[in-house]
Amino acid sequence: MCTDTDATEVSVKGVYIIDAQGGPAPAVLLEDGDGLLMPIYVGQPEAISINAVLKNETMPRPLAHDLIISILARLDTRIESVLIDDKIDKVYYARITLEKDGMLMDFDARPSDCIALALRDDAPIMVTNSVLKRAVVDKENFRGSKTINGLI
């Protein structure tokens, strides 16, 4: 199970275009209960998917994450939680825990996919405290950042 006693639940503050070393890049900003921010750079398709669910937008055709949620629902399976549990060389690692008939199953997954799925299934998003401490950035770094609406 992904819930960890050494983990903090976070919320998704939004999807932003942030100036990175290679130029502007989409990032999901996670925020803990104390207002600490943790950016996770994501690909454009994942940014669009996460932004769509945050904005309550329905696409003309289901996105991959919508399809997965439909499949899970039909199989009477739900997302228990997701846990971002490691960061190695600027790459985050995560696990998603599914529940079916009282049985929990963990799967390795990209954090961006975990976030997109958790938001669609109202599942908690957790980050281990050790990862959160290493990844937190100052809010001042995001002054002037633009939300993704209208940019992709």
Is 1 within the bounds of a domain?
no
| pLDDT, position 20 | 73
Is 151 within the bounds of a domain?
no
Residue 109, phi then psi, degrees to nearest 5? -155, 160
The CA distance from 2 to 95, in Å, is 7
Kindly state the helix (H) or strand (E) to which residue 117 belongs, with its residue range.
helix 111-120
Is 2 within the bounds of a domain?
no
Domains identified in the chain, total number: 1
CATH of the domain at 100: 3.10.690.10
Is 152 within the bounds of a domain?
no
Q: Which residue has the higher pLDDT, 145 or 119?
A: 119
Is 56 within the bounds of a domain?
yes
pLDDT digits (tens, 9 = 90+) for 110-137: 999 999 999 999 999 999 999 999 998 8
Query: CA-CA-CA-CA torsion for 25, 26, 28, 34, nearest 10 degrees?
Result: 50
| pLDDT, position 140 | 64
Q: Read off the pLDDT of each residue in 4-33 and give the average, rounded to a whole number.
A: 89
Please give the distance of CA 135 from its chain centroid, rounded to a whole number. 14
Beta strand segments in the chain, E: 7-20, 23-31, 37-41, 78-88, 91-100, 103-109, 125-128, 146-147
Write the DSSP string, 118-132: HHHTT--EEEEHHHH
Is 150 within the bounds of a domain?
no
Residue 44's domain spans which residues?
A: 7-145
Most confident of 1-5, 17-21, 147-151: 17-21
Instruction: Indicate yes or no: pTM above 0.95.
Output: no
- At 37 the three-state DSSP class reads strand
Is 104 within the bounds of a domain?
yes
Kindly state the helix (H) or strand (E) to which residue 111 belongs, with its residue range.
helix 111-120
Asked if residue 144 has pLDDT above 60, the reply is: no
Is 34 within the bounds of a domain?
yes
Kindly state the helix (H) or strand (E) to which residue 68 belongs, with its residue range.
helix 64-74
